[in-house]
Amino acid sequence: MLGSFDFDVIRRSLPYLFLEGMRFTLTLTALAAFGGLVFGTLIALMRLSGYKTLGRIAGIYVDFIRSLPLVLVIFWFYFLVPYIGQWLTGASRPISVGAFASSLITFIAFEAAYFSEIMRAGIQSISRGQPAAASALGLTYAQTMRYVVLPQAFRNMLPVLLTQTIVLFQDTSLVYVLSIPDFLGAASKVAQRDGRLVEMYLFAALVYFVISCVASYGVRRLQSRIAIVR
C-alpha cells in the first residue's frame, strides 16, 4: 500500500503548509487563547461577584456558548458579524469583516466560556483567608484580585489552561469550512490540486498528532515542576 504513496507531493508542499498554513493556525491559536483568557477571567469575576445580575448574565452566557457546537458558532459569526457591525455603525451595508477577523472573534467568544470556568475554579481554590487578610491590610477588592488572588489562581490552573489551549489548537482546523488557508485548509488545497487526498490528509493528521502530543508532554512536565506540595 505504501508503495503507491507519493511522498514527494508532501515534500514539495512543506513550505506552503508550514509557512502559510501552520503560521495562520498558530497565530489564530495564540490570539484566541489570549483573548479568551482575558475575557474568560472577566466573566469568572462577574460570576463570583456579589452582584446577582452580573453573575446571572455571565452564567447564561457560559451555559449558552457551551451548549452549542463550535462549527455552528463559526457559521453564525461569519454571517452575522457583518450585519452586527452595520447595526452598530449605522452603515448602509454590512461591514466587511473578513474571514480571519470573524474566526478570531468566534474563537475568543467561544473559548472565553471555557476559560472562565477554569479561572473560576482557580479563584475558588484560593483560601478565603487570603482575601480577608488582604482586606485587613487595606487593599481594595480590585487590588486583592490583581495582586493576591489572580496570580495564585493562574498558577494553579496553568496546566489546565494550557491543556485547553491544545484543544483550541485542534479546534482551529474547523475554520476549514470557511475556506481559510489554515494548516488543514492548505493541506486540502494541495490534496485537491494534485489528487493526493490520502497522502495529504494523513500527513495533516500526523502533524496535529505530533504537535498535540509534544505539547501535552510539556504540560505534564510543567505541572510536575510547579506543583505545590501540601
Cell numbers linked to 94 = 454590512
Which of 31, 47, 66, 44 is CA-nearest to residue 119? 44
pLDDT at position 3: 54
Contact residues for 89 (Cβ-Cβ < 8 A; gap 6+): 95
- pLDDT one digit per residue (tens) for the chain, 230 residues: 455 777 788 888 989 999 999 999 999 999 999 999 999 999 999 998 878 899 999 999 999 999 999 998 888 888 887 888 788 888 888 887 778 888 898 999 999 999 999 999 998 888 888 888 888 888 887 888 888 888 888 888 999 999 999 999 999 999 988 888 899 999 999 888 888 888 899 999 999 999 999 999 999 998 888 765 44
Which string of DSSP letters, residue by residue, matches the chain? -GGG--HHHHHHHHHHIIIIIIHHHHHHHHHHHHHHHHHHHHHHHHHHSS-HHHHHHHHHHHHHHHTS-HHHHHHHHHHHHHHHHHHHHT-SS-----HHHHHHHHHHHHHHHHHHHHHHHHHHTS-THHHHHHHHTT--HHHHIIIIIHHHHHHHHHHHHHHHHHHHHHHGGGGGGGT--SHHHHHHHHHHHHT-HHHHHHHHHHHHHHHHHHHHHHHHHHHHHHPPP-
- What single-letter amino acid sits at 31? L
| Residue indicated by cell numbers 458579524 | 81
| Separation CA 47–CA 53 (nearest Å) | 9
The domain spans of the chain are 2-226
Is domain 2-226 annotated with CATH 1.10.3720.10?
yes
| Separation CA 18–CA 147 (nearest Å) | 40
| Separation CA 44–CA 202 (nearest Å) | 39
